[in-house]
Amino acid sequence: MTATYVTKDGSAYFPNEPKGPSVKTSTVPGPKGKATLEEISQVHDVGAVKFPVDYEKSIGNYVVDADENVLLDVYSQIATIPVGYNNPTLLEAAKSDEAATAMMNRPALGNYPPKNWARMVQEGAIDFAPKGQKYVYYQMSGSDANEVAYKLAMLYRFNNLPRANGTYTDEENASCMNNSAPGSPETAVLSFRHSFHGRLFGSLSTTRSKPIHKLGMPAFNWPQADFPALKYPLEKHTAENEAEENRCIRQVEQILSSHHCPIAACIVEPIQSEGGDNHASNEFFHKLQATLNKHNVLFIVDEVQTGMGATGAMWAHEHWNLPTPPDMVTFSKKFQAAGVYYHDEKLRPHAYQHFNTWMGDPLRAIQAKYIVKEIRDKDLLNNVKVVGDFLYTSLEKLAEKHPGKINNLRGKGKGTFIAWDCESPAARDTFVARMKMNGINVGGCGVAAIRLRPMLVFQQHHAEILLNKINELI
Ligand SMILES: Cc1ncc(COP(=O)(O)O)c(C=O)c1O
């Protein structure tokens, strides 16, 4: 295969990147990594650690571990590294006075925003907001970005209830202090089976991917609808898939009409990621929006994993071409800041109904600005599209060559946001482990899926290394 880069001058984005992966130890983590883990375990939970990393040595698409093993990283810190490890543009930005001031004087933004906060928000979020979105609430993580979206939807409902003298009643004020209605009314958020929206109390109630996330935790009695289970290849199952999507929409309709309490919002991922990289058609999301509109239920799109260019569009829901923008769009991960976009000022509740000490972080707004500058300067959305198409068509060929090994290949036209199912959960886990020992850090999701979550600077020569290893090890 010949390498064709999509940088303007045909070069690599990171000229100093290693030429390829190299694993020198017989295990990853190796002896130094294991000793490091032992040290960390004295002060921190290491139950889920894959391997300790040398972040100073990691560069571009390559992560370097404590034993100096060099791995091509197509998992990218659970899909969060946007433009490569130690990206020079970001390192330079970190040295600026603006960044130093923001880092060492973190403000309580809700009370004392910096005088240039409007500009910082404009440049750090609004300038690249999904089409139609005008405002932002910053949060700390994907989970609480979603929780704030739920709160905004619920408060919007509650604050607009007809009240005799336009203010909260004594009964509302008293009952909310006892966690009971009418001050704390039962209100629900609808989510989909296999979805992942986070692990805090509210977000966890809408998460439906794996029991281990939910076991032992109290949960809201909120409804879930089936997410379409599409058959692949899509072009051979058009009628069946359409019927399946219509079945799910009918279920949504039925839940919205019959749930025992009002449903304030429905949340959906453009591609259900943790739950197995499950896709649905653009038409499905159009129908979903129309159904929600009919029932006055707000539409929240969770772009925590799909946002910031991962599918070749800045925002994955832009692929849908909806007639009107979703009510809210949540983000985190590659954005490096988390939060909620919205476009209707009426979603802003009264002061202190939604509030926390920091209400965001100017440093993260600065960081997001430079990430987007890098995306634009280096034409990275185009890179993701071109490399994604190459990767997808090459994987189609590998699937033919290795029957039964690469099943339900999905993500066509969605950049490098690609996944497939292995023969079994055990086969998937073995494949992930073998890839790691051969210098590729890859992630799984759902029951038996492999998901590719490379950075936006993943180029064709990286894709070729990945494909060769898949061919060898599948
Ligand atoms: C779609 C989606 N929503 C929400 C979350 C939760 O984000 P966080 O782990 O930052 O709380 C995740 C995390 O993987 C996610 O993939």
The answer, yes or no, to whether any atom of ligand 1 lies below 6 A from the CB of 274, is: yes
The answer, yes or no, to whether any atom of ligand 1 lies below 6 A from the CB of 332, is: yes
Q: Which residues are catalytic?
A: 196, 302, 333, 357
The answer, yes or no, to whether any atom of ligand 1 lies below 6 A from the CB of 196, is: yes
- In percent, how much of the chain has pLDDT > 70? 98
* Closest to 375 (Cα-Cα) out of 340, 342, 334, 411: 334
What whole-number distance in Å separates Cα of residue 135 and Cα of residue 125? 9
H or E element, residue 192: strand 188-192
pLDDT of 422 higher than 90: yes
Q: Which SS3 state, helix, strand or coil, does residue 176 take? A: helix
Q: Which domains does the chain have, with CATH numbers?
A: 31-83+378-473 (3.90.1150.10), 97-375 (3.40.640.10)
The answer, yes or no, to whether any atom of ligand 1 lies below 6 A from the CB of 304, is: yes
Pull the structure tokens for residue 263.
């449903």
Rounded (5°) CA angle 378-382-384: 100
Would you state the torsion angle of the CA atoms of residues 118, 123, 124, 126, taken in this order, to the nearest 10 degrees? 80
Cα-to-centroid distance, 55 and ligand 1 (Å): 23
pLDDT of 1 higher than 70: no
Determine how many CB atoms are found less than 10 A away from the CB of residue 94: 14
The answer, yes or no, to whether any atom of ligand 1 lies below 6 A from the CB of 198, is: yes
- With contact defined as beta carbons under 8 Å apart, do 230 and 241 qualify? yes
Cα-to-centroid distance, 10 and ligand 1 (Å): 35
- Cα dist. 71→38, 166, 257, 342, 429 in Å? 22, 61, 51, 39, 18
User: Given this model, what pLDDT does residue 3 score?
Assistant: 37
More confident residue, 5 or 431: 431
Cα-to-centroid distance, 312 and ligand 1 (Å): 20
Rounded (5°) CA angle 261-264-270: 125
The answer, yes or no, to whether any atom of ligand 1 lies below 6 A from the CB of 443, is: no
Determine how many CB atoms are found less than 10 A away from the CB of residue 5: 16
What whole-number distance in Å separates Cα of residue 465 and Cα of residue 237? 32
User: Given this model, what pLDDT does residue 9 score?
Assistant: 60
What whole-number distance in Å separates Cα of residue 193 and Cα of residue 209? 7
Q: Atom 7, ligand 1: which residue's CA is nearest?
A: 142
User: Given this model, what pLDDT does residue 140 score?
Assistant: 95
Percent helix, strand and coil across the chain, each to the nearest 5: 40, 15, 45
Determine the atom of ligand 1 nearest the C-alpha atom of 195: 1
With helix as H, strand as E and coil as C, how does 208-247 read?
Answer: CCCHHHHCCCCCCCCCEECCCCCCCCHHHCHHHHHHHHHH
Strand partners, 298: 265
- Cα dist. 340→113, 134, 294 in Å? 18, 11, 23
Determine the atom of ligand 1 nearest the C-alpha atom of 200: 11
**Mutation test of ligand 1: which of 204, 279, 304, 340 has the most ligand atoms closer than 8 Å to its C-beta?**
304
Q: What average pLDDT score do residues 430-448 get?
A: 98
Cα-to-centroid distance, 130 and ligand 1 (Å): 18
Strand partners, 302: 330
Q: Atom 4, ligand 1: which residue's CA is nearest?
A: 197
N-to-C CA span, the chain: 19
Determine the atom of ligand 1 nearest the C-alpha atom of 78: 14
pLDDT band at 11 (very low <50, low <70, confident <90, very high): confident
More confident residue, 422 or 165: 422
**Mutation test of ligand 1: which of 332, 364, 417 has the most ligand atoms closer than 8 Å to its C-beta?**
332
Q: Atom 3, ligand 1: which residue's CA is nearest?
A: 197
pLDDT of 72 higher than 60: yes
**Mutation test of ligand 1: which of 148, 196, 301 has the most ligand atoms closer than 8 Å to its C-beta?**
196
pLDDT band at 7 (very low <50, low <70, confident <90, very high): low
Q: What average pLDDT score do residues 160-171 get?
A: 92
How does pLDDT run across 24-33, given as a tens digit for each residue?
A: 999 999 999 9
Cα-to-centroid distance, 202 and ligand 1 (Å): 13
The answer, yes or no, to whether any atom of ligand 1 lies below 6 A from the CB of 141, is: yes
| Separation of CA 469 from chain center | 26
359: alpha, beta or left? (left if phi > 0; alpha if psi -120 to 50): left
- With contact defined as beta carbons under 8 Å apart, do 339 and 138 qualify? yes
User: Given this model, what pLDDT does residue 10 score?
Assistant: 61
Cα-to-centroid distance, 143 and ligand 1 (Å): 6
Orientation of helix 362-377 relative to helix 117-124, angle to 10°: 40
- Report the chain's mean pLDDT, rounded to a whole number: 96
The answer, yes or no, to whether any atom of ligand 1 lies below 6 A from the CB of 273, is: yes
Cα-to-centroid distance, 332 and ligand 1 (Å): 7
Lookup result for tokens 């029957």: 403
Cα-to-centroid distance, 206 and ligand 1 (Å): 12
How does pLDDT run across 265-306, given as a tens digit for each residue?
A: 999 999 999 999 999 999 999 999 999 999 999 999 999 999
Q: What average pLDDT score do residues 231-246 get?
A: 97
What whole-number distance in Å separates Cα of residue 373 and Cα of residue 239? 43
User: Given this model, what pLDDT does residue 164 score?
Assistant: 85
pLDDT of 8 higher than 90: no
User: Given this model, what pLDDT does residue 166 score?
Assistant: 83
Cα-to-centroid distance, 395 and ligand 1 (Å): 27
Determine the atom of ligand 1 nearest the C-alpha atom of 144: 11
What whole-number distance in Å separates Cα of residue 62 and Cα of residue 20? 8
Residues 6+ apart with CB under 8 A from 128: 314, 372
Lookup result for tokens 């979703």: 326
The answer, yes or no, to whether any atom of ligand 1 lies below 6 A from the CB of 143, is: yes
User: Given this model, what pLDDT does residue 5 score?
Assistant: 46
pLDDT band at 4 (very low <50, low <70, confident <90, very high): very low
User: Given this model, what pLDDT does residue 6 score?
Assistant: 54
Q: What average pLDDT score do residues 105-115 get?
A: 98
The answer, yes or no, to whether any atom of ligand 1 lies below 6 A from the CB of 278, is: no
What whole-number distance in Å separates Cα of residue 257 and Cα of residue 190? 12
Q: Atom 8, ligand 1: which residue's CA is nearest?
A: 142
